[in-house]
Chains A and B, each alone.
Chain A
Amino acid sequence: MDHQGLRLDGVRIALGTRALIAISHAVAPGEVLTIMGPSGSGKSTLLAYVGGFLDKAFTACGRVLADDLDLTALPPQERHVGILFQDPLLFPHMSVAGNLLFAIPQSLKGRAAREALAEEALAGVDLAGMGARDPDTLSGGQKARVALARVLVSSPRALLLDEPFSKLDADLRLQMRQLVFSKARDSGLPVILVTHDEADAEAAGGPILRIGG
């Protein structure tokens, strides 16, 4: 497979007659494209379009390609585009390991193998041995790391970040940024980051697109 990353090909999103976004851009594997803009500029709608859950109120056109595969032609669940929101949104009715096992693709068979992968992923975010915990008993930083581990074990084609650090306090934000970006780089994931925090954009180290405002 040749890795070309994620390509946004003539993507345009509008709300009624108001054009919000027009973008053509390629994001290489391991690269972070940062979209910056004030709230209400429609930057999150781009992520919704890529992920396949854009609200019906918006009209959009253009293609999103991952390694020559046209994602826009696929239903959301077949796009395999992982997303992180500002809240960790761990499933409250599953244990920490349960959240990860839910995310691991079905193609990985065998309970032992799946559990081993989950444990490995937890260890990778410094949460070794926490699998049996109730997610609600974790600290904010721990929850954010479980959310990251969950999206990574699902073997996504790309990663979408919707202001994922904005609710963390300063210290934690620094750590999470490094962790997320290094994990994405290691996994060779093309990343689209949406933020209004200049420091996020700086830490991402990739191209920055400013919209709206």
Chain B
Amino acid sequence: MLTRFGPPAAILLLSGPILAGLAGTILPAVGYLPALGGETFSLDPLRQLAAAPGIGGSALLSLRAGLASAALSLCVVMLFVAAWAGTSAFSRIQHLISPLLSVPHAAAAFGFAFLIAPSGLVARLASPELTGWQRPPDLLIVNDPMGLSLIAGLVVKEIPFLLLVTLAALPQVPLDRTRQLAASLGYGRIAGFLYCLWPLVYRQIRLPVFAVIAFASSVVDVAVILGPSTPPTLAVRLIGWMNDPELSMRFLASAGALLQLAVTAAAILIWLALERFGAAVLRGFCMQGRRLRHDAVLRWLALGMMLASALAVFAGLAGLALWSVAGLWQFPETLPRSISLKTWVATAPRVVEPLATTLAAGLLSTAVALALTLLCLMREDETGARGRRAAALIYLPLIVPQAAFLFGLHLLFLLGGFGASLWALVFVHLVFVMPYVFLSLSDPWRAFDRRFEAIAAGLGKSRLETLWRVRLPMLARPVLTACAVGFAVSVGLYLPTVLIGAGRLTTITTEAVALASGGNRRVIGVYAFLQMLLPLAGFAVATLVPALLFRRFRAMRV
């Protein structure tokens, strides 16, 4: 049976490139890369790295960005869920936030930058009436040396992700009964939830939280757009070294990638300590029986922060769209004086090729990821075993910092002669798309009532026919949603695309980020808007197709 090959193929796909890539990173980092003349092991690359100016600052910046953005976004989500889960406001916010998950990081970061910059929308709304500014103030808000705007930009983008994984864990805890019980014992809403339910919820979202830390401590595109430039974060500097025409810089880049691995590992280790501390505080409060009955301020604060983060992304995206069609737009005018499609028309010819690459890589990697996911899930049905260990493996590509293994993988591709081909790009995208497709489809797949299959078998239908005519159509919505998620992930991928594409294969995302330093807001607006539009189109298809296909059938509606 074909399904037998599903799980091994998935395991190979998820761990193979990472292990091979790590090896390909570590060997040059210790001087071994015969293709570039490194025939013996040496500590030179590491020494060179230690001597790089400001390397400690860069590493600390990455560490801080990873920990701070994870801690802040988790706090907001935790307080919001504790205060509001189970209310109608909660479900409304949930619907407001969910679409934000599909917005690529770079687009959200550009939008955020356009919002908070000295000449951005916020300053325009407040000027000149409140601030008296007639021209943009000379403030370094975006790219501030502390990395605060970087952290803020990451927080607004990670909140939707953490909220969604928390929502997926919530149905498995007895929310209503526990709330009633805690309230009857005199506990405030937030305290009751945190004491009784949060430990259960957190246990299930731990891996996604690690993924957030790993991502935020090693992100490149967001750091290029919002992060400091003197010195930039570690990951940004790595890319600079990697793209250096001087090939011997590869040794330094590999040593840096190794440091990135250490920084991310350190961030996660510190997080583990923070976890213990947080748990101890919570337990202490709980044992003392602190009721925290008057938590109204905190509750509204949590709601406010949640709304503000969503609003920041939405306003930023609106700003992007506006810039892409803006004519003359001087400070401090709130709106452009004229609207024109001039930028779009001028940019269109340059967009075609990256757009085609984006679509090809996205659709192909999603299709393969879906096929593999289906094989794995069908195999799970056959054997009745749900690999717990395999579940951790799914998160591997999300927890190992991208730079740490992509460098090595890129090198291996070059040595193998597969550099910069569409297939290499699809393969690398697949490593990141597969986990999301699997995570998105596995719950609805497992929740399917297997008796439908028993009935179909009793009616004489083969397994394949049952799959095609019963299970897949009935699961059309989650299957297509999983595809939309996978496609959105592929569209948003920056580092894998830049490294494997090596400048010859560009996507909308790599083009957009490349424009960041240029500062032409209109052109950036066009690219970032397209970047946001593509995933949105995917989700629109995932919603409309089943709705049209099954419009006659009431039980098939959401």
Say yes or no for A42: interface residue by CB 8 A criterion: no
Instruction: List, in ascending order, chain A residues with CB within 8 A of B452's CB.
Output: 89, 91
Instruction: List, in ascending order, chain B residues with CB within 8 A of A80's CB.
Output: 458, 460
A136 contacts B461, C-beta separation under 8 Å? no
Say yes or no for A13: interface residue by CB 8 A criterion: no
Instruction: List, in ascending order, chain B residues with CB within 8 A of A89's CB.
Output: 449, 451-452, 455
User: A41-95: which residues lie under 8 A (CB-CB) from chain B?
Assistant: 48, 51-53, 55-57, 76-83, 85, 87, 89, 91-95
Count of chain A to chain B residue pairs whose CB atoms are closer than 8 Å in the complex: 83
Number of interface residues of B (CB under 8 A): 29
A150 contacts B459, C-beta separation under 8 Å? yes
Say yes or no for B392: interface residue by CB 8 A criterion: no
User: A170-203: which residues lie under 8 A (CB-CB) from chain B?
Assistant: none
User: A92-108: which residues lie under 8 A (CB-CB) from chain B?
Assistant: 92-95, 102-103, 105
B554 contacts A93, C-beta separation under 8 Å? no
Say yes or no for B206: interface residue by CB 8 A criterion: no
Smallest Cβ-Cβ distance to A78: which chain B residue? B460
Smallest Cβ-Cβ distance to B552: which chain A residue? A134
User: B383-398: which residues lie under 8 A (CB-CB) from chain A?
Assistant: 383-384
Smallest Cβ-Cβ distance to A93: which chain B residue? B473
Partner of B554, one of A87, A105, A137: A137
A77 contacts B384, C-beta separation under 8 Å? no
Smallest Cβ-Cβ distance to A92: which chain B residue? B555
From known contacts A55-B384, A92-B474, A92-B553, infer whether A83 and B458 are also in contact, taking CB-CB under 8 Å: yes
Which of B450, B455, B469, B554: most chain A CB closer than 10 A? B455
Say yes or no for A206: interface residue by CB 8 A criterion: no
B384 contacts A82, C-beta separation under 8 Å? no
User: A105-158: which residues lie under 8 A (CB-CB) from chain B?
Assistant: 105, 134-137, 150-151, 154, 156
B554 contacts A136, C-beta separation under 8 Å? yes
User: B430-488: which residues lie under 8 A (CB-CB) from chain A?
Assistant: 449-463, 466, 469-470, 473-474, 476
A89 to B458, CA, bound (A): 13
Instruction: List, in ascending order, chain B residues with CB within 8 A of A85's CB.
Output: 451, 454-455
B458 contacts A151, C-beta separation under 8 Å? yes
Instruction: List, in ascending order, chain A residues with CB within 8 A of B449's CB.
Output: 89
Say yes or no for B550: interface residue by CB 8 A criterion: yes
A51 contacts B457, C-beta separation under 8 Å? yes
A76 to B460, CA, bound (A): 8
A91 contacts B474, C-beta separation under 8 Å? yes
From known contacts A52-B457, A93-B550, infer whether A77 and B463 are also in contact, taking CB-CB under 8 Å: yes
B458 contacts A134, C-beta separation under 8 Å? no
A77 contacts B553, C-beta separation under 8 Å? no
B458 contacts A154, C-beta separation under 8 Å? yes
A51 contacts B454, C-beta separation under 8 Å? yes
Say yes or no for B556: interface residue by CB 8 A criterion: yes
Q: How far is the CB of A169 from chain B (nearest CB, A)?
A: 21
A78 to B470, CA, bound (A): 18
A75 to B514, CA, bound (A): 58
Partner of B459, one of A56, A102, A136, A160: A102
Q: How far is the CB of B457 from chain A (nearest CB, A)?
A: 4
A151 to B474, CA, bound (A): 20
Instruction: List, in ascending order, chain A residues with CB within 8 A of B460's CB.
Output: 77-78, 80, 105, 154
A114 to B455, CA, bound (A): 20
A-B contact pairs, 10 of them (CB 8 A): A53-B450, A53-B457, A56-B384, A77-B460, A78-B460, A80-B460, A103-B459, A134-B552, A136-B554, A154-B458
